[in-house]
A and B are shown apart, each in its own frame.
Chain A
Amino acid sequence: MTAWTRFYRNRLAVVGLALIVVLALSAALAPWLAPYDPARQSLVEKRSTPGAKYWLGADEFGRDILSRVIYGSRVALLVGVLSVLIALAGGLLLGTISGFAGGWLDAVMMRGIEILLAFPYLLLALAIVAAMGTGALNTTIAVGVWGIPTVTRMVRGPVLALRETEYVCAARALGAATPALLRRHILPNVVPGLVVYATLFMANAILLEAALSFLGLGVQPPTASWGLMVSPGRDVLLVAPHVATVPGVAIMIAVLGFNLVGDGLRDALDPRLRGGV
């Protein structure tokens, strides 16, 4: 049974995949799906409860929450995908260098990684955003950089191990160039783990961006980011709880989708773990 078959037989994983597809479609087709312009204000109707006109209600400025949630999926996906790419690219590069070079360079880099991992997750991202300033791009970079240490470690392990194996030594003795070695022998061992990690990382990336935006240190208004939408809802929690709670449901659904797929991928790609998580 191939990995794909295992994956598709896992109902939860398929549900997760469906959620991600919904997210992606929502982001891609936002201008056509959203009933209103997400920035269109209607102060007379502010804080409207969900109803016929505004399906998910309106926020403090009378903006349609459904439209903003749909457009918010763009931010979530964009930040998620770009930050994953940053983390993977940086981690692959550093991990391969570290694993291949060995010796003192490897030792120094590992100490550096340990130091970066010594920071609780939000703090590192907060520090980066505080230094670089707020905004969608900087938030993406902050989230991506946060992922680099872990990917580096994940890549370094197999690179180190494989570097010493007989067939790699034989290949090198035969004069194989390093890039070819990387491609044909080392990467195939590293990729499955990275794929699982990337999916789960996206889930956390969305959460992290939402957290930063909620604090006011991430994406800035008037861009519709789910985390950013929750924050002003705090003031009107008693009279209009939907303003704060609805965007959070969107976050949860998106993150759940990636977690389910990540779990499904892990179970499909490594059958030994299947009895466990």
Chain B
Amino acid sequence: MLTFIVRRLLLAVPVLLGVVFVVMLTVDLLPGDAVTLMLGEHATKDAVAKLRDHLGLDKPFLVRYLDYVGRVVRGDLGRSIQQNRPVAAELADAWPATLQLTVAALVLAAIAGIVAGVASAVWPNSFFDALARLGSLFGLSMPIFWTGLVLIVVFSLWLNWLPVGGAGSLTHLILPAVTLALPSIAMIARMTRAAVLEVLREDYVRTARAKGVAEFWVLARHALRNAFIPILTLLGLQSGQLMGGAVLTETVFAWPGLGRLMVKAIFARDYILLQGAVLVFALVFVVINLLVDLSYGLLDPRIGRQG
């Protein structure tokens, strides 16, 4: 078991380093010269040269990469061009809002999706099942930004039940969280249905029923525990979807999170901030998948043993 954990952790390190590499590489390709952006077009050649030297922009890519990694490990992500504040501070300001939104959406999606999926599997081809499957298909097909706008029109403008945007209270969280959760609910419901149906076909379920175990316990103790692993994988993957979707949801609802910050950074050509923001998202995703991976070892002893 220990070897399993250690191995997984070690494998994650090159991925993390690789992520930083890709982010830096992409940002390097951004058009426009960083120094001119920061000092303005009328800066003197001397000032430009000095800043370039100070930032180390003339050094080869690998040197800059290693330097950046070293600084990231120490928590220094550079200074934002437009705000002239440390990037880490900007990210720290925006991070809680995104965390709040994505966690709310994930919890909502997990509960609604799993419940709907299990119900669909337990009563296959029923009216509920048909409704759930159709609903899931629609949920997967609706663009998040559009869903958000439609919900705003209905619940904020017509019914006046909920605020239009911004953050603050619980009522502010409802619409964005539902919007963000919808595609994930659809996906999770579908996968849960498939996973549970698959498990219900297994021999040990048949044995349990033959033994006379009540259907509820057949589900709870035998079927669901085994269906859980693919569902867990999906939840891990969905967190990536949620982070991507958060960018759109935050834009629609003017939610002051990382996603909105990132879009603003792109438009402002604030490449240092952009680098930091993308990095945070990617790193969090890697960590989440690592945790999912590790939990396999706990949930399925067979996996834990092979290490």
Verify B29–A132 contact, CB threshold 8 A: yes
Total contacts A to B, CB within 8 angstroms?
Answer: 153
Verify A230–B145 contact, CB threshold 8 A: yes
- Given A123-B243, A277-B191, A252 contacting B19 (CB threshold 8 A): no
CB distance from B281 to the nearest CB of A (A): 6
Q: Which residues from B are CB-within-8-Å of A12? A: 137
Verify A211–B144 contact, CB threshold 8 A: yes
CB distance from B19 to the nearest CB of A (A): 5
**Bound: A141/B164 CA distance, A:** 35
Q: Which residues from B are CB-within-8-Å of A248? A: 142-143, 145-146, 149-150
How many chain B residues touch the partner (CB < 8 A)? Answer: 55
CB distance from B266 to the nearest CB of A (A): 5
Q: Which residues from B are CB-within-8-Å of A233? A: 149
Interface residues on A, range: 35 or more
| Interface of B, helix, strand, loop or mixed by DSSP | helix
- B3-30 toward A: CB 8 Å interface, digit per residue (1/0)? 0000000000011001101110011011
Verify A252–B146 contact, CB threshold 8 A: yes
CB distance from A56 to the nearest CB of B (A): 15
Verify B266–A122 contact, CB threshold 8 A: no
Verify A121–B248 contact, CB threshold 8 A: no
- B270-284 toward A: CB 8 Å interface, digit per residue (1/0)? 000010001001100
Q: Which residues from A are CB-within-8-Å of B240? A: 119-121
Verify A115–B245 contact, CB threshold 8 A: no
**Bound: A238/B243 CA distance, A:** 29
**Bound: A112/B19 CA distance, A:** 9
Q: Is B267 an interface residue (CB 8 A)?
A: yes
Candidates B15, B241, B247; contact of A111 at CB < 8 Å: B15
| Interface of A, helix, strand, loop or mixed by DSSP | helix
Q: Is A105 an interface residue (CB 8 A)?
A: no
Candidates A111, A215, A253, A277; contact of B248 at CB < 8 Å: A215
Verify B26–A237 contact, CB threshold 8 A: no
**Bound: A112/B30 CA distance, A:** 21
Verify A120–B30 contact, CB threshold 8 A: no
Candidates B157, B197, B247, B252; contact of A126 at CB < 8 Å: B247
**Bound: A260/B138 CA distance, A:** 10
CB distance from A13 to the nearest CB of B (A): 11
Q: Is A7 an interface residue (CB 8 A)?
A: no
Q: Is A255 an interface residue (CB 8 A)?
A: yes
Verify B153–A245 contact, CB threshold 8 A: yes
Verify A122–B248 contact, CB threshold 8 A: yes
Verify A127–B26 contact, CB threshold 8 A: yes
Verify B243–A210 contact, CB threshold 8 A: no
> Apart from A203-B141, A244-B146, A252-B142, what 7 extra A-B contacts exist at CB < 8 Å?
A112-B18, A114-B15, A122-B244, A127-B23, A127-B26, A203-B140, A234-B252
